């Protein structure tokens, strides 16, 4: 079982908080496409198992790709990989691009899961974040998706925004949970140095982020998602009727995946590698038949740290059996010694593993750091 991720690194404009690798200069698009097709050829042996269970187009803004371009990518992938009959094919899209025609094309091409970058249902907040769509566009994209037969729809929301108070956040959550979505990804606004948000905060044009505000938003999110029948299966991810993101869940379970395109990461068990985050370097290197990437062999302690960090974020939790059988007696003992320092209200013990409680989720990073080797 394996997964493939395609990174499409172009956007119409840059959102205020965005730290993903994306450029707004689309003169590179056709060269990017050529390079991507060549990268598929060059790297088709990366995965031992060529039966693909999950395919994910992310970015950037993959919904800027037209139907011919997507078809070319799929055709090339199918030369080297078989798509499992249960393939989960996720496509990230911005609301303003989801017309009925475009959605019908996506459906015809086999997309069966949409991840829509809604971020907020409030026009003032969308404008503050420098998103290109309105709340009405977001709702319209959902209506269009439903009428085209999509029944597995995820939306993204951002919380912890100082300009939005608790009442406004509650209203946004009520709206989100009233919609026929199967999945919600919600992320706290963070400030990265190379973003417009950082510059605006430095210039006092936007208020500093407030950690307590984000914590309160997250608590409300946990409460309202529970009341609405959504399972918080990973700290930032919520699913109705077990419609989890199988692609992302495979990452957290340590299943190999191949990432294609600039800045995409790949993992095959013993090692991890990542492509250069630079479109022109990517195109130039691929044209010479060289994968523009760096890689690292994962030591036992690196794998242990990663296992603990990722699993603590999920409802699977950290399994004592896995720690004992895969990481050996020394790391197993280290985990137990360190775990004895964790406050009891922050975890429960289920199925021979440690799972964070709602209170514990607020301190997940700190707890993981305590457990690292
Ligand atoms: S659309 Fe997504 S990838 Fe593009 S700038 Fe906005 S947040 Fe970043």
Q: State the distance from the centre of ligand 1 to the C-alpha of 304, rounded, in angstroms.
A: 32
Q: pLDDT tens digits for 252-308? A: 988 999 999 999 999 998 999 999 999 999 999 999 999 999 999 999 999 999 999
Whether 228 has a pLDDT exceeding 80, the answer reads yes
Is pLDDT at 26 greater than 80 in this prediction? no
Tell me the residue length of the chain.
373
**CA 120 to ligand 1 center in whole angstroms:** 14
pLDDT digits (tens, 9 = 90+) for 330-347: 999 999 999 999 999 999
Q: How remote is the CA of residue 132 from the centroid of ligand 1, in Å?
A: 10
d(CA 233, CA 316): 8
Burial class (CB in 10 A: 0-12, 13-18, 19+), 294: exposed
- For the stretch 167-190, pLDDT in tens is 999 999 999 999 999 999 999 999
Contact between residue 295 and residue 271 where contact means Cβ atoms under 8 Å apart:
yes
Residue 2's nearest CA partner among 237, 251, 244 is 251
The conformation of residue 195, written as its DSSP 8-state character, comes to S
pTM reported for the whole predicted model: 0.95
Distance from Cα 61 to the centre of ligand 1, integer Å: 7
CA distance 43 to 26: 25
Q: Is 197 in the pocket of ligand 1 (CB under 6 A)?
A: no
How confident is the model over 101-151, as pLDDT tens digits? 999 999 999 999 999 999 999 999 999 999 999 999 999 999 999 999 999
Residue 234: phi, psi to the nearest 5? -150, 150
User: What mean pLDDT, rounded, does the chain reach?
Assistant: 95
Is the CB of 152 within 6 Å of ligand 1?
no
Confidence of residue 1 (pLDDT cuts 50, 70, 90): low
Specify the pLDDT at position 206: 87
pLDDT digits (tens, 9 = 90+) for 5-24: 999 999 999 999 999 999 99
Neighbours of 174 (CB within 10 A): 12
């Amino acid at each position: 079982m394996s997964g493939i991720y395609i990174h499409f690194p172009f956007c119409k404009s840059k959102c205020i908080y965005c730290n993903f690798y994306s450029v707004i200069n689309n003169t590179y698009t056709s060269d990017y496409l050529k390079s991507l097709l060549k990268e598929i050829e060059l790297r088709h042996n990366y995965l031992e198992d060529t039966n693909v269970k999950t395919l994910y187009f992310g970015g950037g803004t993959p919904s800027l790709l037209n139907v011919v371009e997507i078809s070319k990518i799929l055709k090339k992938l199918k030369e080297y990989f078989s798509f499992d009959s249960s393939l989960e094919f996720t496509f990230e899209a911005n609301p303003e691009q989801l017309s009925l025609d475009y959605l019908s094309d996506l459906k015809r091409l086999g997309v069966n899961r949409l991840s829509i970058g809604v971020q907020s249902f409030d026009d003032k907040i969308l404008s503050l974040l420098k998103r290109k769509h309105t709340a009405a566009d977001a709702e319209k994209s959902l209506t269009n998706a439903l009428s085209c037969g999509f029944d597995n729809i995820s939306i993204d929301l951002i919380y912890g925004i100082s300009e939005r108070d608790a009442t406004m956040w509650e209203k946004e959550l009520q709206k989100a949970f009233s919609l026929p979505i199967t999945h919600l990804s919600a992320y706290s606004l963070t400030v990265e140095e190379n973003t417009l948000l950082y510059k605006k905060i430095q210039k006092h044009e936007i208020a500093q982020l407030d950690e307590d505000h984000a914590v309160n938003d997250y608590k409300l999110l946990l409460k309202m998602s529970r009341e609405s029948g959504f399972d918080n299966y990973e700290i930032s991810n919520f699913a109705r009727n077990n419609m989890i993101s199988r692609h992302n869940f495979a990452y957290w379970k340590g299943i190999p995946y191949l990432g294609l395109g600039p800045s995409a990461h790949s993992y095959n068990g013993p090692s991890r590698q990542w492509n250069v985050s630079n479109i022109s370097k990517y195109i130039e290197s691929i044209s010479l038949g060289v994968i523009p990437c760096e890689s690292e062999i994962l030591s036992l302690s690196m794998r242990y740290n990663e296992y603990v960090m990722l699993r603590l974020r999920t409802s699977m939790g950290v399994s004592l059996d896995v720690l004992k059988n895969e990481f050996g007696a020394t790391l197993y003992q280290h985990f137990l010694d360190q775990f004895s320092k964790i406050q009891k209200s922050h975890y429960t013990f289920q199925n021979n593993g440690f799972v964070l409680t709602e209170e514990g989720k607020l301190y997940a990073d700190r707890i993981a750091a305590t457990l690292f080797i």
